[in-house]
Structures are given as structure tokens and as C-alpha cells.
């Protein structure tokens, strides 16, 4: 299935709510490549008030589950960096101070403790 802007925008908006991205950050989702050699697909850019940004290029050849996971991983890394290392989203395991890690199963994104199997928090 070919990725479309509407689906990817929905994923990104949902992820950003879960990641508690700063309100002043600007999300852009489109089909225009952002770097030389960027192929067909959907491109997601998150720009922060300090001028930094991250762009995730989701190639049309990626299966939806892989595209969703890549988007979650890249946006999470960016948000954690922009907040000075605040663990977002927080690990669902009580007492853990690291962020949860994203996993996709049957098309649904879950946030899971990276050290304990089976503790999930749905997106």
C-alpha cells in the first residue's frame, strides 16, 4: 500500500500528542522531498522554535508498519533531544526513568519498556 499524506499526518499528530511536543513546534507533512536524492513518499518535518528541526522521509516502498515505527522512533529521538533528555513518553513500568520504546503490532503502535517484555501503553 502506498503511504498517503492524510494517514501519515494522523500518525504524526497522534505521536506528537503522546510525546508532549512543545506547542510552538510546527509540523509539516507533504510529498515534496527535502533533501537531494529524496525519493517518492511522504516527508514529515517537525520544526522547533529554536530553529532546529527533524525531517523523516518515509519512502513509498516501506510497509505501513515499518513506516509508522520509523516515524515514531525518529520523532521520539528528536523530542527527547529538544527537551534536554526528558524521557518521553515515560516508561510504563513503575519506577523506571527511561523513555518507553515504540513497537508496532497488527498496525497498532505500542510504547513498551525497553527492559521488560509485556508492559505496553497504547498510542
| CA dihedral (26, 29, 30, 32) positive or negative | positive
pTM of the model: 0.88
Angle at 27 between CA 36 and CA 96, to 5 degrees: 105
Q: What is the pLDDT along the chain (123 residues), one digit of tens a residue?
A: 578 999 999 999 999 999 999 889 999 999 876 555 556 789 999 999 999 999 999 988 889 999 999 999 999 999 999 988 889 999 988 899 999 999 998 889 999 998 876 555 544
Residue 104 grid cell: 508496532
The grid cell for 21 is 511536543
Query: Which residues does residue 104 pair with via DSSP β-bridges, in sequence order?
Result: 109
Q: CA–CA distance from 112 to each of 13, 24, 35, 105 (Å)?
A: 20, 28, 32, 12
Amino acid at each position: 500500500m502506498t503511504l498517503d499524506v492524510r494517514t501519515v499526518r494522523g500518525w504524526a499528530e497522534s505521536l506528537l500528542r503522546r510525546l508532549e511536543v512543545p506547542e510552538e513546534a510546527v509540523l509539516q507533512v507533504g510529498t515534496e522531498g527535502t533533501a537531494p536524492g529524496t525519493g517518492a513518499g511522504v516527508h514529515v518535518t517537525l520544526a522547533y522554535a529554536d530553529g532546529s528541526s527533524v525531517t523523516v522521509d518515509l519512502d513509498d516502498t516501506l510497509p505501513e508498519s515499518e513506516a509508522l515505527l520509523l516515524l515514531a522512533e525518529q520523532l521520539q529521538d528528536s523530542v527527547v533531544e529538544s527537551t534536554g533528555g526528558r524521557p518521553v513518553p515515560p516508561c510504563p513500568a513503575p519506577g523506571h526513568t527511561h523513555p518507553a520504546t515504540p513497537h508496532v503490532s497488527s498496525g497498532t503502535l505500542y510504547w513498551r519498556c525497553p527492559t521488560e517484555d509485556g508492559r505496553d501503553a497504547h498510542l
